[in-house]
Structure 1
Amino acid sequence: MVKRIPAGTTVSVHYIGTLDNGRIFDSTPDDEPLVFTLGCGEIFPALEAEIAGMEAGEVRNLVIPSAQAYGPRLDANILKLDRSSFPEGREIRVGQKLVIEFGGNNARTMMVTEVTEGAVTLDGNHPLAGLDLTFAVKLHGIH
């Protein structure tokens, strides 16, 4: 039986995060592991649970389904706004990130996905929403 690392313990890990197509979306530098405290919500709970079952020096490939990572892509997070909603003369281009303010001091960063003469389409989904994530993880240390 594997002994679990208790919540409140600080650990350090090296990882490479990849998508199903093999594209790397994130990684730690070779000389700088990610240091975090278990149980503090600093990483995905599903990834944290897997790391808590590892031993120092152990290496694992961990697949985190989209529902346990950034969730599904939601149509509700896509907005199409009239071009007149933006200041005249402001350059808006596909791929640009805009901070959009909603009522109640609520603001979100959204990605411009389409620009036409009359409208701008914005996507508020996280870029990795709807994607399963694979992490090659080495538990560097338990502190």
Structure 2
Amino acid sequence: MRQAKTGDVVRVHYTGRLTDGTEFDSSQGREPLEFQVGSGQIIPGLEKHVEGMEVGQKSTVTVPAEEAYGARDERQVQSVPRDSLPDDLDLELGSRLTATTREGRQIPLTVIDLDENQVTVDANHPLAGQDLIFDLELVEIVGSEPGETFGR
């Protein structure tokens, strides 16, 4: 049976959970996730695991934080004066904001603390610093050649 290799476009069903069992994402009820193996479209540890899988194969993999969203970086946590933010922002714990750098790059932020004077935001990915567990099923290898498809 054909195995997924670098350059192949594959489709996988997945469920992602934290080490405490909390589910954070799943393709259940949706189309399978489609990506090209080796292109860096998904986290490195998951991509490495899919390479070599066969269509129909199911597997569970634990991806360490450094092969997922990396370690938490406390330098990414900043407090800003509340009056430096637009007045019309509806701020509460967990609010998602976006900052724009001078170069025009968008940075997603999460409000992690606030009071009447300060707002503390975190630019780390919400899953940074966490090992992730994925249940996977390789549904289809679309292939790297035009018209090439391997599936059930």
* Structure-2-length-normalised TM-score: 0.84
Question: 3-state SS of the aligned residue for 2:75?
Answer: helix
Question: Deviations for 1:99-131, whole angstroms, at most 9, x for unmatched residues?
Answer: 123323233121111111211100111110111
Deviation at 1:139, TM superposition (A): 1.0
Amino acid at match of 2:67: Q
- Cα distance in 1 for residues equivalent to 2:101 and 2:5: 40
2:19 pairs with 1:20: yes
Residue 52 of structure 1 corresponds to which residue in structure 2?
Answer: 51
Confirm or deny: 8 A CA contact 1:16 1:27 kept in the other structure: yes
Distance 1:86 1:40, change over 3 A: same
Distance 1:54 1:79, change over 3 A: same
RMSD over equivalenced CA pairs, Å:
1.9
Residue 92 of structure 2 corresponds to which residue in structure 1?
Answer: 93
Residue 64 of structure 1 corresponds to which residue in structure 2?
Answer: 63
Percentage of identical aligned residues: 36
Amino acid at match of 1:104: E
Count of residues in Structure 1 that have an aligned counterpart in Structure 2 = 142
Distance 1:7 1:118, change over 3 A: same
* Structure-1-length-normalised TM-score: 0.89
The unaligned stretches of length 5 or more in structure 1 are: none
- Moved segments of 4+, more than 6 Å: none
Question: 3-state SS of the aligned residue for 2:48?
Answer: helix
Confirm or deny: 8 A CA contact 1:66 1:130 kept in the other structure: yes
- Cα distance in 1 for residues equivalent to 2:34 and 2:26: 13
Deviation at 1:95, TM superposition (A): 1.3
> 8-17 vs 30-39, which deviates more?
30-39
Question: Deviations for 1:26-46, whole angstroms, at most 9, x for unmatched residues?
Answer: 111246211222122111222
Distance 1:30 1:102, change over 3 A: closer
